[in-house]
Structure 1
Amino acid sequence: MPGEFDLIRRRFTRSVTHTDLGVGDDGALFTPRAGMQMVVSTDMLVSGTHFFADVAPELLGWKAAAVNISDMAAMGAEPRWMLLALSLPHLRDEWVAAMASGFHGCCAGFGVDWVGGDTTRGPLNLCPTIIGEVPHGQAIVRSGARAGDDIWVSGVPGLAALGLRALRDDLPLADDWRERCVGALHKPTPRVALGVGLRGLATAALDVSDGLCGDLMHILERSNVAAVLSDVEWPLQPLIAACGDALLARRTFLAGGDDYELLFTAPAHRRAEVEALSLRLALPLARIGAIEAGSPHIELLLDDGSRLPMNTRGFDHFS
């Protein structure tokens, strides 16, 4: 059976393209490009909390990399370097090889050098750290939303939540949608090109990991504004087609997590630019509401013009 250092040499040592010194020393060396700010984030995946223990290791590796790359996308940054701290209850070489293949595959697909990390014995836990770059002063943060901004979201939030329900609760899904929903859960696509395209256009952004309304509240609280949502342009039809239940579709759109789509705000007068970006990237972007002045809260605009306060609680690991 391979030991820790043999494991690192055989499974975690990969070629690099923009790194001065990668795996094999006490630390990695890299040189940031001129005029760039560094962006650093970490997002942990724990067995039984973030994934089923029997998930395919290659998919798990991909997702561990993808959710961290998504944090870079949310800030308009280019992902550049990744580390992985890994806790394993048992050293199973075949499992580690598949996980490392998925992790590296996602990194390579988005131009990320895998430059190091750590391994230890313990409960199954993957904790990547990602480092990216963004032109100085152009990072998209959560505190920039202003009254009058549109609220946009990419893709179809809710697909991953339906996939989770299908696996956990045996929720019946249409045959041609089950694979797509489970795929959205296990193999999310970081919206890096969208994040880069939103530099100088979006006023605030984040990626949807804990539910759309709960995550929107993070923007509202950081920006000290309110939001009103209108369901006229919500992308509900794919969700309804998948589960056949319009009410469940609305709930999963608003409260489902794990899609890692980008939720962002942009000035209303730049709406045409957002729509042009959507066409250029061939990525659906839905305008789901607007930012208003006021204390942080979310309301739903009803057909008769009245408003309904919305439940804004997202997923919380400690509740």
Structure 2
Amino acid sequence: MKILTFHKGQGTALGIRTDRGIIDVEQAAAAFGLPAPATLKEVLAGGDAARRELERLVEAVGTVQGDWLLEEERIVFAPCVPDPGKIICVGLNYRKHAEETNAAIPNYPVLFNKFSNTIAAHGDDIEIPRTTSQLDYEAELIIVIGQKTKYVSKDEALDHVFGYCCVNDLSARDLQMRTPQWMLGKIGDGFSPIGPYVVTADEVGNPNQLAIRSIVNGEVRQQSNTSDMIFPCDEIVSYISQHLTLEPGDLILTGTPEGVVLGYPPEKQVYLKPGDIVTIEIEKLGALTNRFVAEAQ
């Protein structure tokens, strides 16, 4: 199931993407007299019962036409996970990316964090901060945690995952490399556009067998597969859970493959500039596209 959040009136609404269009969950539930969660937070809190309600709603809608069915091209997306709790990132997690940046292969997952101010949606314009001249793209897979998770084994880790989505883990390289701590280069406003959908784990299958790529102004820059991860998704979830409690809606960004600007020779490095359009595509998860603009004065 592909679940999304979109802008509606003065707020946001929950949607489900189908082959026929986007189901407005609240409106369809009212029309068919069925219970259904109204937000992604309610979906996560409701667990399997909430999932079944959404599945029953999709079955009820079937081929029936109604104003609860929206054209995807006409909606304005909100972040597919609107209010994540923790945003935990794994650095240097693809072998070829570590090699292109001349970094040693890590013995343990390299962890850092981002904050909720970095969250943006598919289709949003992303401002390039005036404090950087080296904004880089990073195509990444996000793990969306589905239940409270602590000390989980690797074998059981993926049972705690609700789903997956695309993210562009934007990085201001000049700020990132200013000190040994990367955080400054990672926490700009809008530096984590996510979406367009959260795709549930059952629909994705093995998260470490997905094609992943980034496209800048129509040119493919990154093209890889999540199988190149040094630490696969189950190991990442298990490892993090040994050190803190993961909660429903927490996001784990799992690293980026080779092909980022930082990996090019200095004379070939061309960082993002106003007017650039970047698309992140991951197999089964859709395509996340954003345009970059100068920061408002």
What's the TM-score once normalised by structure 1's chain length?
A: 0.26
* Bigger share in strand: 2
Max Rg structure: 1
